[in-house]
Structure 1
Amino acid sequence: MTQKLLVYCCLFFYCSLFAQTKVGGRVIDESGEPIAFANVMFKENPTVGVITNDDGTFYLETDETYKVLTVSLLGFAAQDIDLTKKVTYNLEVVLTEGEQLDEVVVYFGKTSKKNNPAIDILKKIWAKKRDNGLNRFKQYEFDKYEKVEFDLNTIDSTLVNSKLFKGMEFIFKEVDTSSITGKTYLPMFINEAVYEVYGDNKLGKQVERLTGNRNSGFSSNQNIISFVQDLYSEYNIYNNYMVFFDKSFTSPLSKTGVDVYNYVLNDSTFIDNKWCYNIVYYPRRKNELTFKGDFWVNDTTFAVKNINLQVTRSANINWVKDIYIEQDFEVVNDSTFLLKRDYMMSDFSLNKKEKSRGIYGKRTTVYDNYVFDKEKPRSFYEAKVDPYNEKAYNRDDTFWENSRLEELNKDERKVYNMLDTLKTVPKFKRLYSLASILGSGYIEFDKMNFDFGPIFSTFGYNEREGVRVRAGGRTYFGQNDKWRIEGYTAYGFKDNQFKYGISGKILLDRKNRLIISAGNRRDIEQIGVSLTSTNDVLGRSFASSSVFTSGSNNTLTNINLSTVAVEFEPAKNLILKTQGSYRMLRSALPDIFSLSYVDSESLTGVENETNQLDIITSLEYTPKRKTIGYGVERRNVNDDYARYMVLYTGGLKGMVDSDFDYQKIQLYYRQPINIGGFGRLTSTIEAGKTFGEVPLSLLSVIPGNQTYFSIFNTFPNLDFYEFVTDSYVSLHLEHNFNGRLFSRIPFLRKLNWREIVGVRGAYGTLSDENIALSAPASIVLQAPDSKPYWEYSFGIGNIFKVFRIDFNFRGNYLDTPGARPFSVTGAFGFYF
C-alpha cells in the first residue's frame, strides 16, 4: 500500500472538453456559514442537479444550455439565479430562512424512519433486487469496454510557471475541465481494454476473455500499473457494502442504510418511457464511510434506472478527497434493467482542502451486446487458457475504432502521442525515475537491464555485525521477464565480514506457470520469527536488521542456505512446489547463545553446527487473488483474499552429511474480512507437528518480537526463543474499526483516528527427548503446555495519517524470568 500511494505523486499530462452550461460556487446562510446538502438544479430540467458538499460548495455541468439555477433547502427560501453566461464560477448563494417552494422537497437534518415514502420504496428495492439484472437469465453474454485514466488536477498559473515544468510547457497548451468538480486537469495515463464476458447462473460460473488492451504513459512500470488496477474493484450498488481502498462504504440501497442515511422522496417523472421516483439520500452522521447523492428507481420493477454516489468530505479515508460514481441502466424490456455505463472518479490528494492539487483516477466501463440463455458446456468455463494473449496487446487502430463502446474525445486521442513526446524530455525522465525509485525501491539502469536495490534495505544493526550495510540488484528487461537473477552483498562493521545472497529463476511454461529456481545465501539471520516459513534464499529477517530492539538482540544464527525448487500452478491460484534445501546452522554469538546439541559420535559429545538436508513440499491456495504480469514474477493487485497452505518437510539423515531424520507437517490459514461498516478483521491460524528428535535449530519457535515495530503474526511481549515447541497451534486476531467508534465521540471525531484491537495466543508442547537433545547453555527450553499463552492489545491508527501505536499486554506466564508484562510498539505507513 505504501508503494501504491507514493506512485501517484509522479504522474502528469493534458486535455480539453467544453460543455454548454457550467456553474460552480458556494451556498451559505445569512451569517456566512456553509450550508451542506442543499439542492442545486437547473430550473428548466430538475433531473439535472447536485447536492452541496460539507463546506457548501457545488459544481454543475451539462451539455445543454440552461438559463436559471434553483437552490433550495427545507427551512430556507428557495432562490432562482439567472445565468447570464454559459460559464459561471465562484457563485455565492445566500439562503435566508423562510418558506420553501412546494415543489422542492429536499431535507436537511435527520428524517423520520416511520411513514417515510422513500423508505417504503427502498424496502421494495430490497425485495426485488435478486430478480433484477442478469439474475433473471440462466446464461448471459456481453461485451465490456473499460477505460482507465489518471490526470493531474487543479492546473493554475502557479503550476504552469513553476520550475518543476520548465522545459515541459507544451503540455499545458490545452487543459480539460472536470464535469464533476469543475477543476482543470491534465491527462497523464490512459488504459483501454475490451473483454468478452460469459456467465452461467445455474453453474455459478463466469469467464472474462481479454480481446484487446493498450495504454499510454507509464505502461512498463508494474508499481504504477498495480496502483491503476486498484480502481478495478468490483462493486454492486445492491450489496449492503461497497469496498474501495480496503474500506467498506455502506450502500444507500443497503438494508442497513436506514441507520446511516436520511432518505427523501424528491420527485417523479418519465425516464425512457418508464415512470420513476427520485430519492435523495445523505448521511445521518459525519466521519462515517458513507455517500451522498440520489437515484431514480422504476415504479413497477423497483430496479434502479440511474444513481450517483459521492463520498462525503468528512469520511474517514486518507489521501482521497472525493470518490464519485455514476451508473446508468438500460431498459431492455418491460421488466429488465441492465447496467449500461459505470463511471467512477477518485480525487487523490495530500489533504482535503478545496484548492489542493492532486490526481484524478477515473474508470469508465461500458456494457453492450447482451445475449441471453445461450447455454455452453461446463468445460467452456473450466478450460484453462494462457493468461497472456500477445495478440490482444498489439491491436491496430482499426480494431479500436470498431471495438470501443464509447468514443474517446478529441483530447483523449492525443494522450498517446503527447506522452511519447513528454518521455523524451530529459527533465521529465529524471522526475519519472525519482518517482519510480520511491515506488519500487529500485534504481533503474535501463541500458544495462539492471535495477539496483532495494534501497530501503541499505542499513541495519544487530549485536553481531554492529552497523550493517547492504547493496543488491536484479536483472530487469521488462515486466514479463521469463527469467530473473538477483542478489546482494552485505558488510558488518563490527565482525568485519562480508555476507551475500544470490538466486535465479526461470519460467518454462507460462500457461501452467512452471518455474525452476535455485540460490545460495551466507548471512546472519534471526530464525524463529515465523512458524510457517519457507526457505527463501533472499528472505530478510526483520530482527537481524532492525536498528532498534527491545533488549539484547543476541539470539542470531549464522546460516549457509542452498536451495533448488520447482513449482507449477495446475489451477488458478493453486501452487504446488517441491524444494530441496541444505542448511548449515550455528550460533553467531556462541558465548551468549548456543545452538549446540548432544552428539555421541563427536569427540566432545557436543556438536556446535547443524547440517541438514530437507525436502519440502507445499500446496498453497489463494482464492480470489488478483495479479498483474505474466513473467516469472507477478505482483498482487488486491490483498483481501484468503490464503491456505500445507507444508510437509522431510529431513534426510546421512545424505551429504545431513544430521537428522525427521518429518514435519504444518498448516497455515489467513483471512482478511471486511465486516460491513464495522471495519476489517484479519485472522491467522497456524498448526504444526514435528515427528522425530531434532535440536533447537530445527524446532518450531513461537515468534517473539523484540523490535519496537508492530508486526502482525508475532507476539510483541515475547522474547526470541522464549517458547520453543515441536507441536503447536497459534491464533492471531486483529480488528481495525476504521474509526467507527471514535467518530461517535465529538472531541475525537475530527482527528480521524482509527481504533485497533488484537488478541493472539499459542499452545504447544516440547518432548523430553528434544529437550535432552539440545544443549543450550544460555536459555531454558520451555513450551506453553500448561495453558495457552495469550496477549491482547489496543491500538490507535491513522495518527497524522501515517502513524500507528499499539499498547500490548501479556495475559499470563508473568512469573517467567524476564517476562515483559507490557510493551508499546508502533508502525509507519501510508494507508487509505
Structure 2
Amino acid sequence: MKIKLLFALFLLNICAVIAQTKVSGYVFDEFNAPVSFANVIFSGSTEGTITDENGKFYLESDENYTALTVSFIGYETLNYPLEKRVSYNLKFVLKEEAAQLDQVVIISGKQPKKNNPAIDILRKIWANKRSNGLKQFNQYQYDKYEKVEFDINTIDSALIKSKLFKGMEFVFKEVDTSRVTGKTYLPMFINEAVSKVYGDNILNKEKEDLQGNKNSGFSDNQVIIDFVDDLYSDFNVYDNYLKFFDKSFVSPLSRTGISTYNYVLTDSAYIDNKWCYNIIYYPRRKNELTFKGDFWVADTTYALKEINLQASKSANINWVKDIYIEQEYEVLNDSVFLVKRDYMMSDFAFTKKEQSRGIYGKRTTLYDNYKFNIPKDKKFYDKEVYNYDKDVYDRDDAFWEENRLEALNKDEKGVYKMLDTLKTVKKFKRLYNLGSILASGYIEFNTLPLDYGPIFSTFGFNDVEGLRLRTGGRTYFGRNDLWRLEGFLAYGFKDDKFKYGMSGKWLLDKRSRLIISGGNRRDVEQMGASLTNSTDVLGRSLASSAVVTAGANDKLTAINLTSFAVEAEPFRNLVLRLGANYRTLESASPTFS
C-alpha cells in the first residue's frame, strides 16, 4: 500500500498560489569574499534567513514588503528597497564598520573551543535542559495539530509540456517557490490530523487520542497515517543524537557537539520580551551526519526559543537529498519553555544532482492548550487493540474550522479544491488506476467488493507445468472487513493439470481481534524458495511461477495443504495463535514420480 501511495502522490498534482514577496541573491564583503551566515530579513518584520557558506540566500513571504535588511556583526547594516515583488540574483556588498575594524568577526573555518562565549552558553544549555520542557511536570496534556504536505519540486517547461500532463496543464497555472531551497514546486497532497495527547512522567506513559483526520483525495486515511508515522518520527532536539530515516545525526545541542560543530555567538535581541542570544553552528568536518543553522536561547533559563537545522550536503542518506527543520518554543509560567511549532521538510530524489526532480515531504506540527499535573489512572494509558472510529475520518468543515491550530493558507486550500477538478479528468483517472494496479498487483472493481489478481501471477513458466495460466481474486470491503475470501485457479499446459486454492478469514470479535481462518491449496512449488515465512495457506514461491528464470527449474513439489487456525490479540502487540496444518508432498516431475 505504501508503494501504491507513493505512486499516487506523483500523479496528484495540485495547484499552488505564488507568495507575495520573493528575493534571492548573494552577500559579499569589500574584497568580494562571500559573507557566510549573514542575517537577511524583510525590514520591519521577524521574517528572515541566513546566508549559506557561499553567501547565498533565498527568502519569501506571503506579505508584501518594500525593503530588505542585510546585517552581520562587524559590518554596517544595509537597507535595500524592494521595487519589485520578485527580485532574484541580487548582490549585496557589506562594508566594515569604521569604529569596529579591530573587532570584525569572520565566520569561517574552525572556531576555538576555549574562550568562546557560544560554547559557554552551550554548557549552560546542557546544565538547564532537565528543568525545561514537559519533564518538569508529573503529568501533562495538550492539543496537537499536524499537517503533512507532499509536493513535486523542480517544475520546468519540460515537465509542463510533457505528454504525461497533456489535458491536465491547468495544474501548472500557479507554481510556488520553496522559501528554504528556492526551487519551484507543485503541491499535490495534504493530510491533516487533530489529536489530544496525555502523558505521565512518573509512569513513563503517553497516549495520543486521534480526534479527526482529513486528506485530499484518499479514501483510506489510515494508510496515510501509517505511512506518515513511518516517514516522520518524533525527536527531541536536546538529545545527543537525532534519528531521521534510520540515520543518527549529531544534535547541535549534543554534549559531543563541541567536537563536531563550530559555534559562533553572533547577535542578541528581545524575542517575546525575553533577552536571547543567537548562535550559529556548522560542521567541523565534511562527510558526517551533521547539521548547519542557528538557534536563539534565553539568557536566564538557557532554554531554546527558536532553532533551525539543515542537513549537511555531504550527509549520505538514500533517496533523501535534503532535510530542513524549524522549531519554535513558547514561554509558560514565566520560565518554562515548551515547543509551540515544529516544521520539517525533506527532499526525496533518486539522485543528488542540484537540478534533479523529486518530492518535498513537509510536516508542520503545532501544540497548544498545555495543562499540567492532572493525574489519571494507570489503565487510562493502556492502548486498545481495536480503536477504529469511522467518525474520526469523516469530520465536517465546522470541526476543522474550530480545531485547526493554524489556518490553511491559500496554497493548502488549493490542494482540496484542485483535486475535485482532477477527479473529473478521464486521463488522470486512467493514470491513477494504472498506478494502483502496478503498485498493488490487483485490479479493483468499483461496483463490486472484489479485486482481481495478482496480475503478475497470471502467466508463468516452469519445466514441470510448461506454460502456466492463473486466475484469482479476493474480496475487499474495507480496512475493517468482518470476513475475507481469497482463491485462485491455475492450469499447466505441459502436465495438463488444474491447481487451485481457497482461503477465508472471519473476525469474530473486534476488541480482542479474535480471528478464525482456514483454507486448502493443491499446487506446485519449489520447496525452500518461498519469498517469506508466512501463515498464508495460499503462499507460493516465485521460483515455480516466474516467466523468466535462470538455471534448471524441474525439481518442483506437488503440495496438498490444508490449514486451520485461531488467533487473538488480548493485549496490544501480544498475538496468540493456535493452528493446525495437514500437508502431503510428492515430486511434481514425472522423472521422479
2:14 maps to what in 1?
Answer: 13
Q: Once structures 1 and 2 are overlaid, which stretch shifts more, 115-124 or 461-470? A: 461-470
- Give the 3 Å change call, closer, same or farther, for CA 340–8 of structure 1 in structure 2: same
2:57 maps to what in 1?
Answer: 58
Deviation at 1:221, TM superposition (A): 7.7
1:580 maps to what in 2?
Answer: 580
Q: Indicate if the aligned counterparts of 1:223 and 1:439 stay in contact, CA closer than 8 A.
A: no
Identity %: 61
Match of 1:87 among 85, 88, 112: 85
- Give the 3 Å change call, closer, same or farther, for CA 10–383 of structure 1 in structure 2: closer
Give the Cα separation in 2 of the matches to 1:219 and 1:427. Answer: 20
Give the Cα separation in 2 of the matches to 1:223 and 1:397. Answer: 22
Q: Which amino acid aligns with 1:60?
A: L
Deviation at 1:428, TM superposition (A): 0.9
1:560 maps to what in 2?
Answer: 560
Q: 1:134-533 residue pairs with structure 2 within 5 A? A: 134-220=134-220, 226-382=226-382, 384=384, 386-457=386-457, 462-465=462-465, 470-492=470-492, 494-528=494-528, 533=533
- Give the 3 Å change call, closer, same or farther, for CA 44–418 of structure 1 in structure 2: closer
Q: Indicate if the aligned counterparts of 2:322 and 2:346 stay in contact, CA closer than 8 A.
A: yes
Deviation at 1:143, TM superposition (A): 0.9
Q: Indicate if the aligned counterparts of 2:561 and 2:583 stay in contact, CA closer than 8 A.
A: yes
- Give the 3 Å change call, closer, same or farther, for CA 106–304 of structure 1 in structure 2: farther
Q: Once structures 1 and 2 are overlaid, which stretch shifts more, 174-183 or 245-254? A: 174-183
Give the Cα separation in 1 of the matches to 2:554 and 2:54. Answer: 56
- Give the 3 Å change call, closer, same or farther, for CA 378–501 of structure 1 in structure 2: same
- Give the 3 Å change call, closer, same or farther, for CA 64–498 of structure 1 in structure 2: same
Give the Cα separation in 2 of the matches to 1:534 and 1:178. Answer: 45
Give the Cα separation in 2 of the matches to 1:351 and 1:562. Answer: 48
Q: TM-score, normalised by structure 2?
A: 0.87
Q: Indicate if the aligned counterparts of 1:111 and 1:263 stay in contact, CA closer than 8 A.
A: yes
Q: TM-score, normalised by structure 1?
A: 0.64
Give the Cα separation in 2 of the matches to 1:170 and 1:151. Answer: 16
Q: Indicate if the aligned counterparts of 2:38 and 2:55 stay in contact, CA closer than 8 A.
A: no
Give the Cα separation in 2 of the matches to 1:141 and 1:81. Answer: 45
For residues 298-353 of structure 1, the C-alpha deviation after alignment (integer angstroms, 9 at most, x for no partner) is 22222111111122333212333322211111100232001111111222334334
Deviation at 1:84, TM superposition (A): 2.9
Q: Once structures 1 and 2 are overlaid, which stretch shifts more, 254-263 or 301-310? A: 254-263
Q: Which amino acid aligns with 2:125?
A: I
Q: Which amino acid aligns with 1:197?
A: V
For residues 410-446 of structure 1, the C-alpha deviation after alignment (integer angstroms, 9 at most, x for no partner) is 4433433331231121011112122223332333332
* 5+ residue gaps, structure 2: none
Give the Cα separation in 1 of the matches to 2:435 and 2:555. Answer: 38
Q: 1:397-796 residue pairs with structure 2 within 5 A? A: 397-457=397-457, 462-465=462-465, 470-492=470-492, 494-528=494-528, 533-545=533-545, 556-589=556-589
Deviation at 1:182, TM superposition (A): 3.6
Q: Which amino acid aligns with 2:539?
A: G
Q: Which amino acid aligns with 1:110?
A: K
Give the Cα separation in 2 of the matches to 1:554 and 1:255. Answer: 61
- Give the 3 Å change call, closer, same or farther, for CA 249–3 of structure 1 in structure 2: farther
> SS where residue 179 of structure 2 aligns?
coil
Deviation at 1:115, TM superposition (A): 3.3
Give the Cα separation in 1 of the matches to 2:32 and 2:551. Answer: 58
Q: Which amino acid aligns with 1:90?
A: Y
Q: Indicate if the aligned counterparts of 1:464 and 1:495 stay in contact, CA closer than 8 A.
A: yes
Q: Indicate if the aligned counterparts of 1:239 and 1:251 stay in contact, CA closer than 8 A.
A: yes
Give the Cα separation in 2 of the matches to 1:46 and 1:137. Answer: 35
- Give the 3 Å change call, closer, same or farther, for CA 564–23 of structure 1 in structure 2: same
For residues 633-665 of structure 1, the C-alpha deviation after alignment (integer angstroms, 9 at most, x for no partner) is xxxxxxxxxxxxxxxxxxxxxxxxxxxxxxxxx
Deviation at 1:364, TM superposition (A): 1.3
Give the Cα separation in 2 of the matches to 1:406 and 1:134. Answer: 22
Deviation at 1:467, TM superposition (A): 5.9
Q: Indicate if the aligned counterparts of 1:292 and 1:311 stay in contact, CA closer than 8 A.
A: yes
1:638 maps to what in 2?
Answer: none
For residues 1-59 of structure 1, the C-alpha deviation after alignment (integer angstroms, 9 at most, x for no partner) is 7666545433310122534x4211356899999x6954342385797543445776431
Give the Cα separation in 2 of the matches to 1:123 and 1:477. Answer: 58
Q: Once structures 1 and 2 are overlaid, which stretch shifts more, 129-138 or 388-397? A: 388-397
Give the Cα separation in 1 of the matches to 2:386 and 2:409. Answer: 34
Give the Cα separation in 2 of the matches to 1:286 and 1:183. Answer: 24
Q: Which amino acid aligns with 1:41?
A: V
Give the Cα separation in 1 of the matches to 2:558 and 2:459. Answer: 19
> SS where residue 129 of structure 1 aligns?
helix
> SS where residue 357 of structure 1 aligns?
coil
- Give the 3 Å change call, closer, same or farther, for CA 534–408 of structure 1 in structure 2: closer
> SS where residue 407 of structure 1 aligns?
coil
> SS where residue 218 of structure 1 aligns?
coil
- Give the 3 Å change call, closer, same or farther, for CA 437–236 of structure 1 in structure 2: farther
Q: Which amino acid aligns with 2:200?
A: D
For residues 499-549 of structure 1, the C-alpha deviation after alignment (integer angstroms, 9 at most, x for no partner) is 333222232332222222222222223334689955421223354456787
- Give the 3 Å change call, closer, same or farther, for CA 71–217 of structure 1 in structure 2: farther
Deviation at 1:112, TM superposition (A): 3.0
Q: Indicate if the aligned counterparts of 1:53 and 1:312 stay in contact, CA closer than 8 A.
A: no
> SS where residue 447 of structure 2 aligns?
helix
Deviation at 1:79, TM superposition (A): 8.9
Deviation at 1:91, TM superposition (A): 0.9
Q: Which amino acid aligns with 1:42?
A: I
Give the Cα separation in 2 of the matches to 1:401 and 1:97. Answer: 49
- Give the 3 Å change call, closer, same or farther, for CA 319–28 of structure 1 in structure 2: farther
Deviation at 1:389, TM superposition (A): 1.6
- Give the 3 Å change call, closer, same or farther, for CA 2–431 of structure 1 in structure 2: closer
Give the Cα separation in 2 of the matches to 1:310 and 1:493. Answer: 60
Deviation at 1:72, TM superposition (A): 6.2
Q: Which amino acid aligns with 2:242?
A: M
Q: Indicate if the aligned counterparts of 2:458 and 2:470 stay in contact, CA closer than 8 A.
A: yes
Greater relative contact order structure (CA < 8 Å, 6+ sep): 2
- Give the 3 Å change call, closer, same or farther, for CA 560–579 of structure 1 in structure 2: same
Q: Which amino acid aligns with 1:12?
A: N
Deviation at 1:108, TM superposition (A): 2.1
> SS where residue 484 of structure 1 aligns?
strand
For residues 187-206 of structure 1, the C-alpha deviation after alignment (integer angstroms, 9 at most, x for no partner) is 32222211111111111111
Give the Cα separation in 2 of the matches to 1:121 and 1:542. Answer: 60
Q: Indicate if the aligned counterparts of 1:54 and 1:314 stay in contact, CA closer than 8 A.
A: no
Q: Indicate if the aligned counterparts of 1:7 and 1:227 stay in contact, CA closer than 8 A.
A: no
For residues 674-718 of structure 1, the C-alpha deviation after alignment (integer angstroms, 9 at most, x for no partner) is xxxxxxxxxxxxxxxxxxxxxxxxxxxxxxxxxxxxxxxxxxxxx
1:41 equivalenced with 2:40 (yes/no): yes
For residues 602-640 of structure 1, the C-alpha deviation after alignment (integer angstroms, 9 at most, x for no partner) is xxxxxx9xxxxxxxxxxxxxxxxxxxxxxxxxxxxxxxx
* 5+ residue gaps, structure 1: 593-607, 609-832
For residues 544-589 of structure 1, the C-alpha deviation after alignment (integer angstroms, 9 at most, x for no partner) is 4567878755654321111122222111121111222211122334
- Give the 3 Å change call, closer, same or farther, for CA 534–427 of structure 1 in structure 2: closer
